[in-house]
Structure 1
């Protein structure tokens, strides 16, 4: 017997709203979600696993169109593994460049923090000298 998860369980696990979960379905990022005999959506473990990867890629700024392409490759079968690797390698390179850019910007911010702390320290010492 296959274990199923409700939309609420899946949404809570991933910190998503139900609307976002439905959006991912509409955008083709998840395979066609099964329905119970009563018509309720239910997710298989493979859906949840795919959603884990979708969230990881989305959280690292992969565009929805590229995510859809990747999801289609997954659904197409193992013969697409080389193409999936290409997509992930390209995304990894973009992510590496983005992290490097963020580190440069962080360094600029830290420099400005140090500058402002120096200004405050100088102002304090000037005020202390005036009070003597």
Structure 2
């Protein structure tokens, strides 16, 4: 995510809020690296390692340390591995063709719902798409 704007507009606050909401919903810890004091781009990787509180890895490339830590975090957070997934396949998508979407959907092992829309179903029919998402997200009844 990239947020731009003048100082004091609330970019950091917005980013932190969005990250925390995502982390909570994914069941993982959020990470934040304040980099406002970094003046030299060559010092950025080490600054990220320090800001994220990663163990001293002075003998390793700092970029490798960050990538490894984030990869571990993402692997733990992959919701489609432990939660029900429904892939909404847009059949008239010119940006992400249906065969590519089918491949992505197959990786999740979840249900696939096909709709006759392009890449932006919210833009094409927002009411119908919102209703579809509500039906998908609705809790299923469990026999007791």
TM-score in terms of structure 1 length = 0.27
Bigger Rg over Cα = 1
Normalised by the length of structure 2, the TM-score is 0.26
